[in-house]
A = this chain, B = another copy of it.
Amino acid sequence: MQLFKIHTGLIKPNQDIINVIIHSLDTSQINIEDNDILAITSKIVALSQGRIVKLEEVKPSDLALKLSKRYNLDPGYVELIIREADEIYGGTDQAICTLKEGVMIANAGVDRKNVPLGYAVLSPANPYESAQNIRQRIHDIKGKFVGIVIVDSRVTPLRLGTVGVAFGFSGFSPVRDCRGFKDLYGKPLQITRHCQVDDLAGAAHLVMGEVDERVPAILLRDTPIIISHDLNSQINKDSVMVSPNHCLFINALKYENENKVVKRE
């Protein structure tokens, strides 16, 4: 598998990012091929949609005022988080744990990084539809069937720092269901499913970086993922989610006090 960096200039609100990405690829003499996967940061997808907000123009609700004190965050910023989140759990210093588009993510993906001072960028609207539209446009321009994944950052339980996560995708199945496949000893697998799309997002996120690298997109080649040639396939977040009743973490932690066995510190 190979990952090619797609360097760009500063992306501005409402800019056509597909033109920017294709221009960068052409300049670097990287030809898009069938079965490549294009990974794009959620930030530039959101910027291309004009999803940027001036914080002082946001009026915080009572809930925003309450949560802003509890989690040490600006009230206007918290108001955006509340408006954007699909669900809000608890939080910790400077971070509120939310559900957004099938991802448990800090602050509903609302971010003040790499946007002008006093502004916040929201997460992309309709990320699955956006990914599908990008896939269609790449096919229209280049005639190739590629996969698209919109990449955001998340933290994971008890680990320090962010990793990549798929915040929307198009053109492939996110999860390889290995149940029933034979292992090395011919035994059928019972429960194994491989969340290929989040591994893919992690690979792209590693190379994109988290600061001012100006690499908001990555082309991945020779991945093990099979790309569909049907441009009309409808994929949504349900293809990559488990219900809270089947989530190991939700189940494990919500009864923490009842079940926890601490063996050593």
Contacts and interface: CB of A to CB of B under 8 A. Distances in A.
Interface of A is mostly: mixed
Copies of this protein, total = 2
Contact of A176 (B103, B113, B210): B210
A202 B200 CA distance: 7
B2 A97 contact: no
A158 B199 contact: no
Contacts of A63: 261
Given A161-B194, A206-B223, 16 more contacts: A2-B3, A90-B251, A92-B251, A104-B158, A155-B248, A157-B157, A157-B249, A157-B250, A158-B244, A162-B192, A181-B212, A182-B211, A194-B209, A202-B202, A253-B256, A254-B254
Interface of A: 1-3, 10, 63, 82, 85-97, 99, 102-104, 106, 112-117, 154-165, 174-176, 178, 181-185, 187, 189-196, 198-203, 205-207, 209-212, 214, 223-224, 239-242, 244-264
